[in-house]
Structure 1
Amino acid sequence: MRHNNMAYWCSHNIIPYWLFLIQTYLLLLLVAGSKPGQKIPAVIVFGDSSVDSGNNNFIPTIARSNFMPYGRDFFGGFPTGRFCNGRLPPDFISEAVGLKPLVPAYLDPAYNISDFSYGVCFASAGTGFDNATSNVLGVIPLWKEVEFYKEYQKKLRDYLGDEKAQVIISEALYLVSIGTNDFLENYYSSPEKQKQLTVSQYEDFLIGLAWNFVKDLYFLGARKISLAGLPPMGCLPLQRATNIMQDHACAEDKNSVAREFNMKLITLVANLNNYFPGLQLVYSDAYTVFLDIITSPSKYGFEVANYGCCGTGRFEMSFLCNKHNPFTCPDANKYVFWDAFHPSEKTDQIISYNLLKTSLAKFV
């Protein structure tokens, strides 16, 4: 059974329930009482499988999740292409700021510009900052996501007129979540690349690409942008499953790289805000809360944190996570991870509300 939003918010049993209720009520009042000029008119999403709401369904790639048991806890209980048993962070954030409870995929023909005027997702599972990352699974590169955004802007202007469209473009909240695949699917999977670049040098290369990406969004009119850091990628079940020498503990070398890269992102955010007038770029720290969930799962109501719900939970994702696998758990709310790579819906929701109270608070 799906938990309601209030149940998810009660993630920390270290605080009294009455205090949690007051905090939730105050946040809802803040969102509902926002001035018209501060209201977020749309949520616009770029990135990878952490935020892809189904674009990969419509391109020739094996990086898909448009089949059961993916989506079994989604509205109506059907797969959408989200790499989760339910909704993703952009969906929860959109709902929390007073918009629709789902952010649709741009390539999904079931939606049109009237839907996209409130929110749109250009993300593609398996992609990264590095074009070479998108080539691994033949998915949409980040530059193409930007091209889709340009196309979207034209449709939006045709639909609403220049003035109203410009308000949406400039006042929308832009959510960017990308980078994990650059390391796990690209750098660490390529001995040749590791010979050419140290991991620190590769981080710097990605930071340069991130600068150019934010610059492109800025000159296209975006102003309110959230740039998410890497998660504790050494604690993903797939990484733990292969960490045999350390008894399947979190791979600290991967977590160390994630922390190092995130520190560079923080510096990048400060530099970009200083460089581009009017830019409101924030660094969204998903690492800290995610690691806390993984290391103290019972505090958040979870029972299992070292492997996912789907299949054996250690290696399966995408087509290996399917309805024919007999090992899939009956209740994903007990699991931090849905498959060997992606968080469960409950984890996504906890992280989303944490970001709304921290990095995104200035926008809501």
Structure 2
Amino acid sequence: MAIPLLLLLQFLQILSVQAKVSSLIVFGDSSVDSGNNNHISTMLKSDFVPYGRDFYGGKPTGRFSNGRIATDFISEAFGLKPTIPAYLDPTYNISEFASGVSFASAGTGYDNLTSDVMSVIPLWKELEYYKEYQMQLRSFLGDEKANQVLSEALYLISMGTNDFLANYYAVPGRSTQYSIEEYQNFLTGIASDFIIGLYKLGARKISLTGLPPMGCLPLERTRNFMYGSGCIELYNNVARDFNEKFRGLVDVLNRELAQIDLVFSNPYDILSEIILNPYSFGFENAAVGCCATGMFEMGYMCGRYNPFTCTDASKYVFWDSFHPTDKTNAIVAHHSVMNSLAKFL
């Protein structure tokens, strides 16, 4: 059954009273980038209208949506703040980062070659920024308080789609070096090393996010026009298989790392349900995005001078050809909070 957005937001506010998490610390790609790409040299930006038109004050912030992204809603559910700031945004300081910060960069992935495609922040650099943040936090709060905040924080990791759609299937290189299963294993190994690195730096509560039904993104359906613009099942099968590898990784690391509390957060099923049954969630369109024609535009192609952007984004599952609307993000966040993240409340 669909949950009206107003009731969902009220429910998140009720949950926030019970939260046991000190901070939300985010690593990943455009699904969780709240504006870091604004401050690097890349073409992959969204710091212009109509992005952010339904955000507070109608302000484009670098989020790839018409409003908030899933981590903003999750932060609010944990009683922290309604938006997670980007680490590279100079308008924020360490006092504001203490209760939540995003190191994510749109276009990145687990594979360093993925970040090279769009000249964005690689995963290893996100970790270096986190180490820098740790030092700033200890200077600001003192070692004891900072260590407490860091150990009680929830660390959320969300990326992987670009590794397949912008790298493996899009450019020569990895597809000649690895079979698809070998590449999945390669990425899983990188994710494992990253989580272990966070653990050694004091992280204990960690959420590893799986892949969405990436064959149903409007961009991929547009590419599939010769076959009726349906979802590309090959890509969806790859996403499901990859998610099973991540689920197995979570089981292994929970056994091997003392006191870690690692969960697997799977957006695949809830997004598939929304896409297959949009009307039951209050949507009217799941095949194309709201912005521009919604078939292939994102970033600068979804700009202020494009005359085709829809008037009501709440009727659309996707904002542009790749990214969900604010409303979809709220539903996915609610699903995550109620399921994989519920143990941290």
* Residue 271 of structure 1, CA deviation: 0.4
CA–CA distance in structure 2, aligned partners of residues 62 and 30 of structure 1:
38
After superposition, the Cα gap between the structure-2 partners of 1:30 and 1:190, relative to the gap in structure 1 and judged at 3 Å, is closer
Query: For residues 118-129 of structure 1, what are the structure 2 equivalents within 5 Å?
Result: 118-129=99-110
- Tell me, yes or no, if the aligned pair for 1:297 and 1:336 is still in contact at 8 Å: yes
What corresponds to 2:118 in structure 1?
Answer: 137
- Tell me, yes or no, if the aligned pair for 1:88 and 1:345 is still in contact at 8 Å: yes
Match of 1:285 among 251, 266, 270: 266
Amino acid at match of 1:60: S
Amino acid at match of 1:91: D
Residues 1:224 and 2:209 are matched in the alignment: no
What corresponds to 1:362 in structure 2?
Answer: 343
Amino acid at match of 2:17: A
* Residue 41 of structure 1, CA deviation: 1.1
* Residue 98 of structure 1, CA deviation: 0.7
Residues 1:257 and 2:238 are matched in the alignment: yes
* Residue 28 of structure 1, CA deviation: 5.5
CA–CA distance in structure 2, aligned partners of residues 349 and 108 of structure 1:
24
Identity over aligned pairs, percent: 58
Residues 1:8 and 2:5 are matched in the alignment: yes
Residues 1:351 and 2:332 are matched in the alignment: yes
CA–CA distance in structure 1, aligned partners of residues 203 and 172 of structure 2:
37
Match of 2:17 among 12, 20, 32: 32
- Tell me, yes or no, if the aligned pair for 2:84 and 2:102 is still in contact at 8 Å: yes
Query: For residues 155-304 of structure 1, what are the structure 2 equivalents within 5 Å?
Result: 155-304=136-285
CA–CA distance in structure 1, aligned partners of residues 226 and 246 of structure 2:
31
CA–CA distance in structure 2, aligned partners of residues 33 and 74 of structure 1:
26
* Residue 192 of structure 1, CA deviation: 3.4
After superposition, the Cα gap between the structure-2 partners of 1:60 and 1:30, relative to the gap in structure 1 and judged at 3 Å, is closer
- Tell me, yes or no, if the aligned pair for 1:9 and 1:353 is still in contact at 8 Å: no
Residues 1:83 and 2:64 are matched in the alignment: yes
CA–CA distance in structure 1, aligned partners of residues 279 and 14 of structure 2:
29
SS in structure 1 of the partner of residue 56 of structure 2 = coil
How many pairs align?
343
* Residue 244 of structure 1, CA deviation: 2.2
SS in structure 1 of the partner of residue 155 of structure 2 = strand
SS in structure 2 of the partner of residue 306 of structure 1 = strand
SS in structure 1 of the partner of residue 110 of structure 2 = coil
What corresponds to 1:43 in structure 2?
Answer: 24
CA–CA distance in structure 2, aligned partners of residues 130 and 184 of structure 1:
12
CA–CA distance in structure 2, aligned partners of residues 186 and 109 of structure 1:
31
CA–CA distance in structure 1, aligned partners of residues 56 and 308 of structure 2:
23
* Residue 10 of structure 1, CA deviation: 5.3
SS in structure 1 of the partner of residue 262 of structure 2 = strand
Instruction: Give the gaps of 5 or more residues in structure 2.
Output: none
Instruction: Give the gaps of 5 or more residues in structure 1.
Output: 1-5, 12-20
Question: Would you identify which runs of 4 or more consecutive aligned residues in structure 1 move more than 3 Å?
Answer: 27-31
SS in structure 2 of the partner of residue 227 of structure 1 = strand
CA–CA distance in structure 1, aligned partners of residues 183 and 99 of structure 2:
36
TM-score by length of 1: 0.92
* Residue 9 of structure 1, CA deviation: 6.0
CA–CA distance in structure 2, aligned partners of residues 125 and 277 of structure 1:
32
* Residue 85 of structure 1, CA deviation: 0.3
What corresponds to 1:109 in structure 2?
Answer: 90
- Tell me, yes or no, if the aligned pair for 1:226 and 1:284 is still in contact at 8 Å: yes
* Residue 32 of structure 1, CA deviation: 1.7
CA–CA distance in structure 1, aligned partners of residues 135 and 69 of structure 2:
27
Residues 1:331 and 2:312 are matched in the alignment: yes
Amino acid at match of 1:8: L
Amino acid at match of 1:179: G
